Structure 1
């Protein structure tokens, strides 16, 4: 019988996956903060061969990558034979961006005989259907800002930079880069009042990049995203249906109501 392996990073998603699949074999990564407790073994990125072996020894056939992972510092002196073989391709992928790295990771695990699954395949209801998910109705200005945000993300997708941006009154106040959505929202919150005079309110737009492998890199929003958006003075958050993870949906709705912030799910990017 197939057994699932959860390769856990930070955040609530690995916890939710393990709750839904309690027989799964959970592993974490050395130096990566997580919420999986002390029982889950931690593997150094330099020892990927030992990770393959542990998965096989535990009967794992399918793996799912879940939670936040940042690019780790790698110590070549600690590389095991599997990592030494992978290193030239990995270094080349790092020069092309995160999508290239993630495609390589998927290819590597598939070459080792594992089936890579998406979290959205394993957790029904992980994404949202089109419509107003929570909070007040967006205004016409909010709708126009969202349209502008999707336009920005569509044009920048080939550059493999980020999955989100903030737009207010047609002006781009922030763009997600390697530091992530929370860092972008903190940056927007620090925008001087003299620059926000023409750009009150605004929206955060999040959607996958064109061609992105959603099995390993689906964008996500959660309660902390809404809190960050509120701290940045935004009116709401706009995502697309079926391809953005909605973390802790009940709590998300409660936070949206508390902050008077909308979460809108578009059927397709306008």
Structure 2
């Protein structure tokens, strides 16, 4: 009889844990579970947790990406009804706050919550470089700035990542996640106007226009097809990932993989820095190879 249950969402991490623990019972929330596994709905969470405990499950590990569900109050069963106030409160919190409520419910059902990194310590690489490249002095300053930003946003339960270039904060991770943040930086950089006299004239014209000082002879008219003017950004930049201060690292530990490296390269970044002991690196060798082929450095600090 298996004593481990993996509550699995989407992504590479559930695949790794399932391979490492083939005897584990694997379940997932409806709509986010990996293909072919047993599913459940939040509306029956109470009875689901009771059934897990009754079946002999002693440890539960939450792995993979899970979206916040839409709860159908008409489908809540009798065992879940007493949990509704806490579930509603959880859905109104940030990720860390919501997961803390879920952890408490699992523990109250008589099961222990364990982290993916506890089960597979090799997911946490030692401090040092992943790949052949090293950060420049400018990159190192951006690394320090980015980690400082995360020490400020983390306690507010905002996110686990940010992008800094030339000392400027280009993006902070929020609910949509790291991939969305990197895609936003890439989109911003694609829409920056080309450098040179034409761009300078257009900037001057639009600045005068905004101040009510524009007019004929003040410069070329703004392009009416453009909805907004994107300010230029410093070249390069660093993606930083770190857990929030005081975060329960058994659940929702920050994670990067080779796809993260490729998205960082598409956003024009120079490298990635992650906190040692606090960020999972999926398929470490693949990450190093992706970094080398993309011209990026990856550091664990």
Note whether the superposition's TM-score is higher than 0.5: yes
Whether 2:205 is the aligned partner of 1:170: answer: no
Which residue number corresponds to residue 228 of structure 1? 263
User: CA–CA distance in 1 between the matches of 2:296 and 2:183?
Assistant: 17
Select 1:99's aligned residue among 96, 121, 135.
96
CA shift in 2, pair 1:112/1:57, >3 Å: closer
User: CA–CA distance in 2 between the matches of 1:128 and 1:90?
Assistant: 35
CA shift in 2, pair 1:249/1:10, >3 Å: same
* Structure 1 residue 151: Cα displacement: 0.9
Q: Which runs of 5+ in 1 are unaligned?
A: none
* Structure 1 residue 93: Cα displacement: 3.1
Select 1:239's aligned residue among 263, 266, 274.
274
Which residue number corresponds to residue 25 of structure 2? 25
User: CA–CA distance in 1 between the matches of 2:175 and 2:151?
Assistant: 18
Which residue number corresponds to residue 145 of structure 2? 148
* Structure 1 residue 189: Cα displacement: 0.4
Aligned ranges for residues 48-67 of structure 1 at < 5 Å? 48-67=45-64
* Structure 1 residue 124: Cα displacement: 2.5
Aligned length: 263
* Structure 1 residue 243: Cα displacement: 1.0
User: CA–CA distance in 2 between the matches of 1:60 and 1:6?
Assistant: 10
Select 1:188's aligned residue among 182, 185, 189.
185
Higher strand share: 1
Which residue number corresponds to residue 11 of structure 2? 11
* Structure 1 residue 181: Cα displacement: 0.2
* Structure 1 residue 23: Cα displacement: 0.6
User: CA–CA distance in 1 between the matches of 2:31 and 2:92?
Assistant: 23
CA shift in 2, pair 1:103/1:157, >3 Å: same
User: CA–CA distance in 1 between the matches of 2:233 and 2:297?
Assistant: 21
* Structure 1 residue 261: Cα displacement: 1.0
Instruction: State the Cα deviation string for residues 23-72 of structure 1 (Å, max 9, x = none).
Output: 100001111152xx41x211112111342244235421101000011111
Which residue number corresponds to residue 156 of structure 2? 159
User: CA–CA distance in 1 between the matches of 2:80 and 2:138?
Assistant: 51
Which residue number corresponds to residue 221 of structure 2? none
Aligned ranges for residues 66-145 of structure 1 at < 5 Å? 66-145=63-142
Question: RMSD of the TM alignment (CA)?
Answer: 1.6
* Structure 1 residue 4: Cα displacement: 0.5
Whether 2:202 is the aligned partner of 1:203: answer: no
Deviates more, 1:42-51 or 1:136-145: 42-51
Deviates more, 1:217-226 or 1:186-195: 186-195
Q: Is the 8 A contact 2:142 2:167 kept in 1?
A: yes
Q: Is the 8 A contact 1:135 1:260 kept in 2?
A: no
User: CA–CA distance in 2 between the matches of 1:45 and 1:92?
Assistant: 14
> After TM superposition, what 4+ stretches of structure 1 lie above 4 angstroms from structure 2?
194-198
Deviates more, 1:234-243 or 1:132-141: 132-141
Structure 1 length normalisation: TM-score?
0.93
Structure 2 length normalisation: TM-score?
0.83
User: CA–CA distance in 2 between the matches of 1:246 and 1:254?
Assistant: 13
User: CA–CA distance in 2 between the matches of 1:158 and 1:198?
Assistant: 27
Whether 2:294 is the aligned partner of 1:259: answer: yes
User: CA–CA distance in 2 between the matches of 1:181 and 1:118?
Assistant: 21
